[in-house]
């Protein structure tokens, strides 16, 4: 079990670490996301990338002098299947590999002459397929063959080359939050058709990613934190509000995790970690905007 949350500080734990032994690292950057690719926690912030070696309690910052293409990547993703970390940049270039000293570079997006803005915004993966959210749409990449399979540059009702800001794979569908709303593609559908709008009039989710606060496929279903509220995708019923139990009435700040282990940050004194056993663990919360947990 590994836990991580961040606000003005990073706090992390691995295995059965006692609360008093949690690692704490005061960091000057605005923390944007985090992932674990053994043996490091990879942290993306507004100032760059930080590596935390949880077992040793050591850390180091990455930049152009020791492995990165540029000092400030625009996206970070840890893939549990391949054991690779993926870093995206404003140029459309992607670095990937198992360790900071073993990063390869994929430049196909950056070299595409059809689009003027090519920044990478997010990643998601399932099996051998990697999804890359960019300023011009969605790129589907085969990790094993290391080549692009498809490009989705237009969604229903949206103009050509609509930016995709967030991407995930959950509830038997691909979910893409674009500048024109939230779309879902049921599994088995062609990449360039079959997208369904799941935001806007009639939905509690608006057509803006501005209020997106995270999502996770938990044991109870696909959960989305949006505009201080937690929702669950209920199929034909659409988005339904997910009650917070004893924390009802509090605002949601962030949600994140992997599979049966996920975390929730509220405007309370604690971050809530939901464990595969069904139990809930609590940890001090200094207004954490990023939370992450894996089994």
Indicate whether this model's pTM tops 0.85: yes
What residue segments make up the domains of the chain, in order of their start? Answer: 31-197, 211-294
Q: Tens digits of per-residue pLDDT, 209-232?
A: 999 999 999 999 999 999 999 999
Q: Lowest-confidence range among 31-45, 108-122, 279-293?
A: 279-293
The reported pLDDT for the residue numbered 18 is 45
Looking at the domain covering 31-197, what would its CATH class be? mainly beta
- Residues 125-143: what's their mean pLDDT? 96
Residue appearing with tokens 């939370």: 291
Q: Lowest-confidence range among 193-202, 228-237, 243-252, 284-293?
A: 284-293
The reported pLDDT for the residue numbered 8 is 45
What's the CA gap between 114 and 126, in Å, rounded?
A: 27
Mean pLDDT (the chain, rounded): 88
Q: Express as a percent the part of the chain with pLDDT over 70.
A: 88
The reported pLDDT for the residue numbered 283 is 80
């Amino acid at each position: 079990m590994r836990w991580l949350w961040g606000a003005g500080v990073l706090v992390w734990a691995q295995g059965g670490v006692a609360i008093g032994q949690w690692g704490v690292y005061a960091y000057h950057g605005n923390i944007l996301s985090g992932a674990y690719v053994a043996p490091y926690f990879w942290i993306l912030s507004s100032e760059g990338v930080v590596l935390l070696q949880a077992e040793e309690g050591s850390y180091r910052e990455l930049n152009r002098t020791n492995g990165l293409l540029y000092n400030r990547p625009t996206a970070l993703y840890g893939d549990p299947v391949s054991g690779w970390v993926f870093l995206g940049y404003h140029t459309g270039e992607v670095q990937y590999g198992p360790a900071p000293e073993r990063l390869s570079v994929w430049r196909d997006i950056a070299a595409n002459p059809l689009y003027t803005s090519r920044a990478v915004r997010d990643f998601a993966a399932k099996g051998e397929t990697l999804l890359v959210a960019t300023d011009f749409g969605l790129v589907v990449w085969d990790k094993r063959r290391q080549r692009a399979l498809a490009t989705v540059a237009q969604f229903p009702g949206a103009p050509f080359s609509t930016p995709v800001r967030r991407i995930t794979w959950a509830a038997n569908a691909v979910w893409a939050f674009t500048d024109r709303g939230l779309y879902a593609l049921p599994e088995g559908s062609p990449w360039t058709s079959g997208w369904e709008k799941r935001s806007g009039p009639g939905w509690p989710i608006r057509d803006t990613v501005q209020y997106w606060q995270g999502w996770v496929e938990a044991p109870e279903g696909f959960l989305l934190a949006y505009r201080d509220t937690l929702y669950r995708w209920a199929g034909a019923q659409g988005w339904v509000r997910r009650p917070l139990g004893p924390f009802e009435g509090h605002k949601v700040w962030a949600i994140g995790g992997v599979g049966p282990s996920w975390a929730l940050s509220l405007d309370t004194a604690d971050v809530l970690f939901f464990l595969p056993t069904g139990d809930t663990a609590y940890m001090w919360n200094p207004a954490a905007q990023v939370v992450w947990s894996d089994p």
